[in-house]
Structure 1
Amino acid sequence: MLTYRYDTQLLIEGNNLSEDAIHAYFQEHFEGDCLLVVGDEELIKIHFHTDAPWLVLAYCATLGEIYDIVIEDMDRQARGLQG
C-alpha cells in the first residue's frame, strides 16, 4: 500500500538556490516521503512523493523557472494502469 500517491519530479533553474534550504522547507511544509533535493546554486532536481503535487509546484515556482515536470500517479501504476 502506498503512503503517498504522486511521484513528483522537476527541475528548478534559478540563482542562489540552496539544496539545504529547499530540503528544510519541504520537510517543514509538505507531507510526503522519498525526498531528494540535489543540484547547485543554479539548477536543482526535486524528487518527492506526495498527495499534493500542486503545492510542490507552487512553491518551486517561487524559486525560479520550473521545467521537466513529471507527476505520476503511483496508485494507478500499482494497479497496472498508466500513471
Structure 2
Amino acid sequence: MSIKVYYTSVSSSKEIKKWQQQIFDILSSKKIKHEAVDIAQDVKVKDLMRDLVGDPTALAPQIFNGDNYCGDYKAFENAIEEEALESFLKI
C-alpha cells in the first residue's frame, strides 16, 4: 500500500496550507513515498476522503495508507513528537 495525503490546493486558511506543507516536507525528508490527492479538483474525491474518514465534514489534510485511515494533521503531529511516525503510517 502507499501513503496518500488528501490535501487542497484551494484554501484561504494559512494554517491548513502550513499543515499540508509540513506533512509533505516531513514525508519527503524521511524519504517516505507518498501520493498527494487534491480534493479541490473533484468533489467526488473530497466525498471519498470524507467517507473513508467517517466524517462528512472532515477537512484536508487527511492521511491514509492505501484505504486505511491513519489520521489528520494533529494525529500526524503527535506521531512526530512521540517518534512514532512509522507506526502512525502503518508502515
- The answer to whether TM tops 0.5 is no
Greater RCO (Cα-Cα under 8 Å, separation 6 or more): 1
Higher helix fraction: Structure 1 or Structure 2?
Answer: 2
Higher CA-based Rg: 1
**Which TM-score applies when normalising by structure 2?**
0.29
**Which TM-score applies when normalising by structure 1?**
0.30
